[in-house]
Every structure is written in C-alpha cells, then in structure tokens.
Homo-oligomer: A and B are copies of this chain.
C-alpha cells in the first residue's frame, strides 16, 4: 500500500489552514486572524489562529496541530496495543457568527499514525443553525454529499448517520444542529487506496470555506431583533453543553493535558441559560427544536 508521508500531510494540512483563513477573512471583510504558535513538551506543536469581532464572525478559530510522542495509555488500552510512538495532525475549526441568522459551523480533518503501522483518518463537518431553514439545510447536505460522492458513494449515507449519532446531546434529546458527516478510523481498503481516502479528506478541508462563505454572504444581512439574539444565546449554551459534556475530542484533550486555549477556542463568545425555557408553540424557535432530531433526510425534506 502506497502511503503519503507525514511530512507531506503536514504540508497539505497547513496549506488547507492557510486557504481557509484567507477565504474567511475575505468573506468577513473586516477581522483578521491572530496566530499563536505553541509547542508541546512531549513533542510537536501547532499554530492556533483565532478571529473575533468581525463584520460577520463574532469568534472563531482555525487550528492546525502536529504532535508526536509516546502514545497516551488511554489510546493504547482502547486499541489493546503495546507501547508505540504516535503522530497526529489535524485542522479544526469552529466559527460563531455574530448574527443569529448565520449558522455556527464546525469542521475537522485529522490523521493519526503509530510506529507499529496502525493509521487512520478522521473528520467531519456539521452545521448548527440558530434557526433551521430547510432550504439552507438541504443546500448544506447536498454540498457535503456531492463531495463524498466524488470519492465513494457509500460515504455520505454512512457518515451522515454517524454525525447524527455523534453530535447528539443525550441529556437534552437534541442533535447539536442539522448534522453533516462524521467519520473516524477511516483507512484504505481494496476499493479505496490510501491516496483516494486522503484526497477525500483534503476535499473536505477545501469544501469548508466554500460552504461557509456561502452562508455568510447569504444570511449575514438578514434582519433580526432582541428575541433572536436571546434565542441565539440559548443555542450557544447548548453548543457549550455538547462540547464540554459529550464531545470525545474535547474530553480527550482536556484529560490528556492538551493545550486548553486551543481546545476551548470552540466555545461561543457568550452563552445564556434559562431554567426550563420552552419556546411558544408554532414559533420559529419551536420549529427549530422540533427539527433537532436524528435521521432527517434534509436533502429531500424541503
């Protein structure tokens, strides 16, 4: 099996980070990314880029990291493997827009390999609109599906279901948003050589700014008022709950002494909690809540 070197993957992932930051800055039209470079005592490091108080983006981050060292015991135990070194690199993004009419978005691509030959890719992209718009939801899923289908027609249905299950707040019985795709431990097989899996992962990275710049341009000027602002603050608190209670990546990072500020760049600028808040029946807030469910076929719904 012909693999790609980790040096090459690092170069490609950095280029994806560069491309995304450039596109987001153009799309926002005002704010600029600020970069922090950091290194990890055990090996490797990253460049965390954050943006805030833009025309459209309230708070966001586009993080690249490439770390290596002895594999954490938690991973070894899970895999039932003896000690080996690991290498992991990835690009992670969360963008919180200022306007409640623009969705929150998350994207991640990652590559993991061990000195014993084990490797995999992981990643995902999912959209969290404060207000669900069925046309927007269909557009998002069509774009994601089209990218998947270019590489493997089984990916979208499989990874869409995985996202529904992953981005789920069990304690609220709500999905985080309208989902998207999520995958982990993805490797080459007889039908998909390494290069093709890798090309899919990279394509997801390049798809991200295309999708998000579309929503920024389309929705940022939609009118809204105080009640939409309040609802946004409640939806942001659900985003906090998901990331801190359920997100495996966040938990793993906080548990294994990761760089806290890079991990928690996913937090919204502000959030609010109100005891037992229920939107009134028939409202657009209630419509959104009713659609925070698993298994919705967004492409064919509207």
Are the CB atoms of A170 and B254 closer together than 8 Å?
A: yes
Interface size range of chain A in the complex? 20 to 34
Are the CB atoms of B269 and A272 closer together than 8 Å?
A: yes
Picked from B233, B241, B270, B272, the residue with its CB within 8 Å of the CB of A244 is B241
Picked from B233, B254, B264, the residue with its CB within 8 Å of the CB of A273 is B264
Q: A47 at the A/B interface (Cβ < 8 Å)?
A: no
A266 CB → nearest B CB, Å: 9
Interface string of A176-204 (1 = CB under 8 A from B): 00000000000000000000000000000
Are the CB atoms of A233 and B270 closer together than 8 Å?
A: yes
Q: A172 at the A/B interface (Cβ < 8 Å)?
A: yes
Q: Given that A171-B254, A240-B240, A244-B245 are contacting pairs, would A268 and B276 also be in contact in the complex, using a CB cutoff of 8 Å?
A: no
Q: Give 24 CB contacts A-B under 8 Å.
A: A36-B276, A52-B275, A59-B273, A170-B254, A171-B254, A171-B260, A171-B263, A172-B260, A237-B267, A237-B271, A240-B240, A240-B271, A241-B264, A245-B245, A245-B251, A261-B276, A264-B273, A265-B275, A267-B273, A269-B272, A269-B274, A270-B271, A270-B272, A270-B273
Residues of B within 8 A of A251 (CB): 245
Are the CB atoms of A61 and B275 closer together than 8 Å?
A: yes
Q: A57 at the A/B interface (Cβ < 8 Å)?
A: no
Q: Given that A237-B267, A267-B237 are contacting pairs, would A275 and B50 also be in contact in the complex, using a CB cutoff of 8 Å?
A: yes
CA A245 to CA B260, docked complex, whole Å: 13
A225-255 interface (Cβ within 8 A of B): 233, 237, 240-241, 244-245, 251, 254
CA A244 to CA B254, docked complex, whole Å: 12
Of A59, A244, A269, A271, chain B has the most CB atoms within 10 Å of the CB of A271
